[in-house]
Amino acid sequence: MEEKKFKIKTVIKKTGVMKYFSQLDLVRIFERALRRTGLPVYITKGFNPHVKMSFSNALKLGVEGEVEITFYFSEKVSCDELKTTIFPQLPQGLEIIQITEE
């Protein structure tokens, strides 16, 4: 039996010094930020559990731009709650542009 996952799709803008951070670094930054928020994030099952999220595409190193990330939660979370709790956890140069529920 599979657990219910609630999705929230976000568009993030990467600018300034953050353009020199790789895709793997972004994954770590968002995983740590989500854990610090205390929100009910969906944790994968298996040998190496981690926070479930998916990126639509990766930005090249040294390029500013926007990337779409889908976050998965084990309980219903509002878009406003996500934005207000994760924004203080993000470093300068990462900005949330858009949040939508799926």
**Complete edge-to-edge strand list for the sheet that includes strand 65-73:** 53-55, 65-73, 6-14, 94-101
Q: How confident is the model at residue 4 (pLDDT cuts 50, 70, 90)?
A: confident
Pick from 77, 68, 86, 54: nearest CA to 4: 77
| pLDDT value at residue 2 | 66
| pLDDT value at residue 3 | 75
pLDDT at 26 over 90: yes
All domains of the chain, ordered by start, with CATH?
6-101 (3.30.70.580)
**Mean pLDDT computed over every residue of the chain:** 93
Q: How confident is the model at residue 1 (pLDDT cuts 50, 70, 90)?
A: low
Are 2 and 44 a contacting pair, CB within 8 Å?
no
Instruction: Output the pTM of the full model.
Output: 0.89
Pick from 9, 2, 3: nearest CA to 101: 9
Instruction: Identify each DSSP E strand in 1-102 by its residue range.
Output: 6-14, 53-55, 65-73, 94-101
pLDDT at 48 over 60: yes
